[in-house]
A and B are shown apart, each in its own frame.
Chain A
């Protein structure tokens, strides 16, 4: 089993993801430089958070044209597991692997804080060790996390159970007050129809050790391992 963490110029959560996979999850992991145009032997690709290419133009808009994205897209179409976190989620949206788009946060501020999210679908490669309805305490840190999708596509998304995480209150209620950024339907993370590509705004790598205040995100990484082992 081998993980790969993509490094764009401006990625800044690449080392954090690498650390969790190598030192907490204890799995083999390599960095993948964005100029690489081939991928060999990876079982899961993580596109980390940060400001790829300075997020100039639009978050993720330049990164999608990076040489590495072609093999990543091919890998995803072949059923490979791709996890996009924060800026990685934005890159997945820009590259068409996931539907929808990100708007600026409702209050037009960068927000870094702990929030709560609820597991809406625990049948994916990334959430299979959670129970449906589990509530996670997890940090967000973004300026553009206000998820948007048009009405028809939202319907499809819901019907296919592609909404994986929603922002919720501490008690697990999905309500406007628990929505930090204005995302449609409190959506915090979605998967593709096949369930092998996941994008999420919250940072599971920042809450994979209790020492940091929450270990609730670790099962995202563990779920991947469990999924790959069963495959």
Chain B
């Protein structure tokens, strides 16, 4: 049997190995080889994605600040720091721990900036729930998020859950965290100042998660290999203490820089801190607290044991910092110091086991990947809608849509998350966006995640644009001005040209739409190799977006509040059905093109809605998305405890009725308001050149929809509610 070269088992290519030989001028030691393999993995080094990511805009309406591990925007005298990150493969292998450590990792990226984490959101995607393994994954992932997030005392306020066959065998868990820090307290992830100490804080180091990023995150799932040992185990209690101790330690002013030991553990934190600080670092592995015996140096350097961080402390102040961590019963040990020579030098019991230029580690080789349009796309796009017939009964079609797990209430999930701790959540989960007040100010921030990956499959460029546009629309509906984006780009194997074409188009789509709206992308993450033996996932560029509300007393929710209100449609129905949930659910097909997106029209609709909310003119605002106009109106009727019916009268021309009701044309918002405010709202719509149509009135115990005087939908609210409220839990029980 031929033994595979060690570097290949670590995920390095022949040419990369040759490059390492050139850099070092000698053969690497096992520890050095391990360090290169993790730093040059796609997960840490962005080798295949970085060139395109440079396109994303870094400036916008608010001043942007981009740090080593996350980014944020400056609002008055504080900074909102936020980032989204994937933990897909670990969650597919071990859902509870995979999701839990995903939450833990992203929150560490936030508080190592000195920011207090104030909220989390999670975008989750699974295969259909008729497969018991997908049910197990959903239950496990939700359990992991509640297990970790609830204990930390960081509210989980929002997110989304999607289901699609393409995620069977490769679920997606994208976790987003938001933190707040005063401008003057911002911390960075760097080490400098010769003689300053490098201290290790947090949990001890074990063999868990070794090669998690290079082996697990940077390869696709091929078959039945046992990858469970590469998943880390989370301890939220330790992380909670770590947050408190770190925020306290940062107050001393003795910390030069601090960084999470996440993917690639000590290797990544030590070398990237040195690189960011343009300095050298020497560490002695014998000082690293261990939980297992006889660990090899390379194992200590590669371990992804959770709840650990590395900090650079001003010389002479070590004891004060160590004392703070010990108060919280955490390890804090000096393991090295900043040195003059710009290298990362690793010693084990005095013997040098690695010495590498941190720039060489940080600057992974970048690849121009070949790309080509997938062959199947023309066939999908050329779908002729006239080949599907309209349903005989639109009421039962609406009931089916509301009980689709994609559209149905996610209450079963978010009620398992503590979404109120810290007492800032002024709009709870279950509306278009979650809203958090900022104590001590009049302001609030709104947050949302969004991506319809079916649109991205059918049209990656436009699908990605729609994800951004819809996230912004959700924020506007809550009364927030869209301010900044974090993106989590989940794709298949980038070495395959059709997958890379999807990636390229999505990044270009995000770039163009963000530039149009003047919204910067301040942080993000790329997750490639999301494939199972059945194929790649749908391209899924998940967008996390933050919006700012200047007056927290002027927020808006999605549900009708008063009987007798006027119902308005902002925007227009385009009669499209491509990529819709209706087409998938009722006709079993994912074809056509993604809905049109006219950016000017989108802008005018958003500006109109935002100004109307800010002026306190409306009672509810809800984006039309999956399930179209009919589902949106139904949700506005039934998503609060006090359900309110509606009578809708549509007078559209010649499009199909199913397209009118369930088509997913973009740039539409359903608003309710009192009659006396109508004329003021009309003036605002005129100013921004947005199309406004009065389509009905709230009231009663039924949802009735008429088209040109004939009744096409008539349903008691209790039927709508029953279909929508319990569907997810029912699918989890019955499949």
Residues of A bordering B, CB below 8 Å: 9-10, 12-13, 15-16, 19-20, 23, 49-51, 53-56, 109-113, 139, 141, 143, 170, 203, 205-206, 209, 211-213
B552 at the interface (CB under 8 A from A): yes
What are 28 A-B contacts defined by CB distance under 8 Å?
A: A9-B244, A10-B151, A10-B241, A12-B151, A12-B240, A12-B421, A16-B421, A49-B421, A50-B153, A51-B236, A51-B240, A54-B151, A54-B236, A54-B237, A109-B416, A110-B418, A111-B416, A112-B415, A141-B150, A141-B420, A141-B421, A143-B150, A170-B641, A203-B420, A205-B423, A211-B553, A212-B425, A212-B426
Which secondary structure characterizes the binding site on chain B? loop
- Shortest CB-to-CB span from B439 to chain A, Å, is 7
CA distance A213 to B430 in the complex (A): 14
Residues of B bordering A, CB below 8 Å: 146, 150-153, 235-238, 240-241, 244, 328-329, 414-423, 425-426, 428, 437, 439, 552-553, 641
The total of interchain contacts (Cβ-Cβ below 8 angstroms) comes to: 83
Residues of B within 8 A of A49 (CB): 421
Look across to chain B and name the residue whose beta carbon is closest to the beta carbon of A16.
B423
Residues of A within 8 A of B328 (CB): 9
* B552 and A53 contact, CB distance less than 8 A: no
* A10 and B423 contact, CB distance less than 8 A: no
CA distance A158 to B645 in the complex (A): 44
Residues of B within 8 A of A113 (CB): 415
- Shortest CB-to-CB span from B73 to chain A, Å, is 24
* B237 and A15 contact, CB distance less than 8 A: no
* B237 and A10 contact, CB distance less than 8 A: yes
Residues of B within 8 A of A109 (CB): 415-416
- Shortest CB-to-CB span from B307 to chain A, Å, is 12
* B423 and A9 contact, CB distance less than 8 A: no
- Shortest CB-to-CB span from B345 to chain A, Å, is 36
- Shortest CB-to-CB span from A107 to chain B, Å, is 10
Residues of B within 8 A of A170 (CB): 641
Look across to chain B and name the residue whose beta carbon is closest to the beta carbon of A50.
B153
- Shortest CB-to-CB span from B150 to chain A, Å, is 6
Q: Which of B238, B415, B423: most chain A Cβ within 10 A?
A: B423
- If A110-B146, A112-B415 touch, whether A19 touches B423 (CB-CB below 8 Å) is yes
* A12 and B152 contact, CB distance less than 8 A: yes
- Shortest CB-to-CB span from A126 to chain B, Å, is 19
* B418 and A10 contact, CB distance less than 8 A: no
CA distance A55 to B421 in the complex (A): 17
- If A9-B240, A110-B150 touch, whether A16 touches B422 (CB-CB below 8 Å) is yes
CA distance A23 to B420 in the complex (A): 18
Look across to chain B and name the residue whose beta carbon is closest to the beta carbon of A203.
B420
Residues of A within 8 A of B146 (CB): 110
* A9 and B237 contact, CB distance less than 8 A: yes
Partner of A139 from B151, B420, B439, B553 at Cβ < 8 Å: B420
Look across to chain A and name the residue whose beta carbon is closest to the beta carbon of B244.
A9
Top 6 A-B residue pairs of the complex, sorted by shortest distance between their CB atoms: A12-B153, A54-B237, A51-B151, A141-B418, A16-B423, A112-B418
CA distance A170 to B414 in the complex (A): 21
Look across to chain B and name the residue whose beta carbon is closest to the beta carbon of A109.
B416
* B237 and A51 contact, CB distance less than 8 A: yes
Partner of A213 from B153, B416, B428, B552 at Cβ < 8 Å: B428
CA distance A229 to B525 in the complex (A): 56
Look across to chain A and name the residue whose beta carbon is closest to the beta carbon of B411.
A113
User: A20-B423, A112-B415 known; 5 other A-B pairs, CB under 8 Å?
Assistant: A12-B240, A51-B237, A112-B419, A206-B423, A212-B426
Residues of A within 8 A of B237 (CB): 9-10, 51, 53-56
CA distance A72 to B249 in the complex (A): 29
Look across to chain B and name the residue whose beta carbon is closest to the beta carbon of A54.
B237
CA distance A111 to B237 in the complex (A): 19
* A111 and B437 contact, CB distance less than 8 A: no
- Shortest CB-to-CB span from A34 to chain B, Å, is 11
Residues of B within 8 A of A141 (CB): 150, 418, 420-421
- Shortest CB-to-CB span from A204 to chain B, Å, is 11
* B417 and A112 contact, CB distance less than 8 A: yes
CA distance A16 to B154 in the complex (A): 12
Residues of B within 8 A of A20 (CB): 423
CA distance A109 to B414 in the complex (A): 11
- If A112-B417, A113-B415, A206-B420 touch, whether A10 touches B240 (CB-CB below 8 Å) is yes
CA distance A203 to B422 in the complex (A): 12
* A15 and B422 contact, CB distance less than 8 A: yes
- Shortest CB-to-CB span from A9 to chain B, Å, is 5
CA distance A168 to B414 in the complex (A): 22
CA distance A213 to B437 in the complex (A): 12
CA distance A206 to B415 in the complex (A): 15
